[in-house]
Structures are given as C-alpha cells and as structure tokens.
Amino acid sequence: NRMPTYERLFKSAVVLEKDPEQVAELPARQIRKVASFPLNSLDVSEDGKRLAWCGFMEEHIEVVDIASLERVATCRYGGVTDLAFDPKGGRLALIGADPLVWDFANGIIGQLEDTEPGVYKTAAFTKDSSTVLSAGHRDRLVAWNAQSRRIDWRQQESGDVLSIDVSYDGQLVAVCCGSEGVRVRDVESGDAVGSFAGVRSADQTPALPGEVKVPIDVCFSPTENLCAVLVHNREATGALQCTVELWTYVSRDGDFVANHVGHLASPRKGTMNAITFSPDGGLIAMCGCFGRVLLFDVEGLELVAMCQHPDVDPLDVLDLYETFCADFGQGGAVLATGHLDGSIVVW
C-alpha cells in the first residue's frame, strides 16, 4: 500500500491535445461477427488466451480462442448482461436475471443464491476466486461465496450501479453509481471505506449552470494503487466531452485517502462507453462511438494509438459499429473489442 510513482509524474502534467489522425492506427488482426445484436460485454481470461462474450438478447454465451476467434465452449443461456472470468481459469460468472457460475471446462452450471429476483448488471470475481460480486438490481451490491454459491453480504448503494471493479491487491471494490459518484468498499465485509468523491472535470473547475458530469465506468490499475474513472461531461450546449479521471489512493487499517492526479481527454466530442487497463498498467483503452478505441500512455498522459472498426464508412452518419467493451489479451499484445453490430475485432 504505497503511493505509486504516478503521483510525482502527474503534478505538472497536462493533457496533450492531439488529433487522432496524427497517431498510429493499429491494424485489425481478426474480425468475426458473433451475434445478431450488440455485444454487452466481453472479458479475457487471466492467461490472455480465452475470450468470453455476451450479447443483448442473445440466447447463448461463447468462450473463444483469442488468437483465432474459434469457438471453445458454448452455454445455451440468455439474458446475460455481464460476465467475468475466474482469475484461476475454467469458470465464468454470468450475471443477468439469474446469476450463475459456469464451469465451462467441465460443462457444469451452478445458480447463485438469489433471494430477490431481478436483473443484475455487473460482474466481477475477487482476485483469489473465492467471491463473485455483482450489482445493479435495486441498487444493491451483492457478494456470493463462489463455492457454496450463497450470499456473503449485501449492501445498498445510493444510485444506479453502472460498473464495479476489484483492486489489484483484492482488498477493495470500486462501485460506480452514476451521478452519485464512485464509492469504495472493503471486499471481505462490504463496508464503505471511502470514495473517489466529487469526480472532477478535466479542468478541475466546478460544473457551470447546465453542465452535467456523470461517472460511467471505473477500473483499477492491475499493478499500482491507481484508479481510473470514465466521466461524461455534458456541456450546457448539449455537446459531450469524455474524460478519464485518474486517482491514486492509500488504504491501510480502515483509513482510505484518494488524490486526484490527472486526466485523459478524448480529442473529439462524442460518447465513450468503457475503459480498461493493459496488463502492465501502462496503457488505458477508451472505447466508444464510431467503432473507435483510443489508447493512452498512462505515465505521459498522451494519446499514442487508436483503432477503428474496419467496416466504418467515414461518410456514414449512423454509428453502426459503436464500441461497447474492450479488454487486453496475450499479455497486452492484443486488444479485443465488442461492437454494436455484434462483431468482435482483435487488434
């Protein structure tokens, strides 16, 4: 629990306003249309070799080989809103109307205890694979024992939960509650320990009349005490500017201290939907409108590369290939993205 070196680097850092056309564009290695509807979520296994996806209104879940996108396993189960790999491999948490744990290596499905039926929205395993976390239904955060499949604890949140993530040391879970901010809880007990309160705008000024700033996604660095929060900054004119706010934190003996240390900004206005760190924590991928993914160097706060769905027509005003989800694989050598048209692209 030490403050990372980013604290020193961010003190005098500024955002580099660079046009996407001036940065490297990554080539697509593989593309496969896997669904008839938009992809809700995808996740890459801890070893970086397997990818799982779920789609809106799709009646099945797939695990595929990330190198070839060839099918490895299929689960005939629909209504899944999010999924997450067990860090030890072989299992997936499937979250939706009926939360499940799917042992795809052995073809076994186990339903998690669900005393209050409803649709859950988010999924995460703890780092030791002992607990499944989910939230969304009636604004509750729920922790299940992954072996007994019974509820360990349940906590009420103050707003609609949009995303959750577990810290690299497995001790904390960050809960993104939209306009209510980002709360941080202890994984073992579920008790609130702090927050990334008052997620700020890119220029660190309060919102002006008519402006709205809403956290959309949260992601912990896999290597350091660093957390990234994707924020939608809706201007009074109606234009949307998306930023990633970066926070360092220290959590020790029940005390939690967070410091805002910098931000990354999308060079163009438009919706961004999700963020993810590379396995070494050196890059952040921000994905969103027009099939676009922006890659930022975390240390230098610099846009270094971008990807755009190969089928995007620059003259088409319809956003048919919007990127909803992304994750790194093969130790950070590739990036997988899920799109509105039901396709997966590996870069």
Q: What percent of the chain has pLDDT over 70?
A: 88
Q: What is the pLDDT of residue 222?
A: 95
Is residue 133 over pLDDT 70?
A: yes
Q: Residue 155: which of 191, 183, 118 has the closest Cα?
A: 191
* Predicted local distance difference test score (pLDDT) of residue 278: 96
**Pick from 2-6, 89-93, 299-303: least confident:** 2-6
Residues 325-339: what's their mean pLDDT?
Answer: 95
- pLDDT tens digits along 147-182: 999 999 999 887 788 999 999 999 999 999 887 889
Q: What is the pLDDT of residue 66?
A: 95
Reported as a single tens digit per residue, the pLDDT across 250-303 is 988 778 999 999 889 888 778 899 999 999 999 999 999 989 999 999 999 899
Mean pLDDT over residues 123-152, rounded?
A: 89
Question: What residues have CB less than 8 Å from 267, skipping those under 6 apart?
Answer: 17, 18, 19, 20, 294, 303
The model's confidence at residue 15, banded by pLDDT at 50, 70 and 90, is very low
More confident residue, 264 or 236: 264
Collect all residues with Cβ–Cβ distance below 8 Å to 159 and sequence separation of at least 6: 139, 177, 178, 179, 180, 181
Q: Which amino acid is at 110?
A: G
Given a cut of 70, whether residue 313 has pLDDT beyond it is yes
Q: State both tokens at 72.
A: 């490895």
